[in-house]
Amino acid sequence: MTSPAADAFAQVRRERARAEFAEWNLVLTHRAQEIRRIDSGDEVSISKELARRGIALEIAQLLGITENSVWRIVVQGEEVRDRTPAVWEAFRDGVLDARRVGLIADTGAKLRSPEAIEALDQTAVGYAAEHTPGELRSWLKRLRARLEPEQFQDEAARATEQRQVEISHNDDGTSWLSALLPTGVAVAVGNRLRAAAKALPKIDPETGEPDRRTRDQKQADLVAHWLTCSEGTSTDIRAEVAITIDTTDLIGLTTGAGFTRGDREPVPAQWARELVTSEHTLLRRLVLDPLGNVMDTTKLGYQPSDSLREALRWRDGTCRVAGCQADISDTDLDHELAYDRGGTTSAENLRSLCRRHHNMKSHGHLHRRHLRPPVQFAEPYLRGAPVIYRAVPA
Q: Please report which confidence band the pLDDT of residue 140 belongs to, taking 50, 70 and 90 as the band edges.
A: very high
Q: What are phi and psi of 92, to 5 degrees?
A: -60, -40
Strand segments, DSSP code E, in the chain are 164-169, 175-180, 243-246, 258-260, 266-267, 281-285, 331-335, 350-354, 386-391
For the segment 177-194, what is each residue's pLDDT rounded down to a tens digit? 999 999 888 988 998 999
Residue 36 is predicted with a pLDDT of 93
Tell me the pTM: 0.76
Architecture of domain 306-372: 3-Layer(aba) Sandwich (3.40)
Each residue's pLDDT tens digit, 20-59? 999 999 999 999 999 999 988 888 888 888 888 889 989 9
Identify the top-confidence range among 188-192, 227-231, 246-250. Answer: 188-192
* Residue 363 burial class via C-beta count within 10 angstroms: exposed 0-12, middle 13-18, buried 19 and up: exposed
- The identity of residue 249, as a single letter, is D
User: What is the reported pLDDT for 22?
Assistant: 98
The CATH 3.40.1800 portion of the chain extends over 306-372
pLDDT above 60 (res 163): yes
Q: How far is CA 160 from CA 85, 180, 187, 270, in A?
A: 35, 8, 15, 13
Give the three-class secondary structure for 36: helix
- Quick one: angle between helices 67-83 and 45-63, nearest 10? 100
Q: If we measure between CA atoms, which residue out of 242, 116, 98 comes closest to residue 184?
A: 242
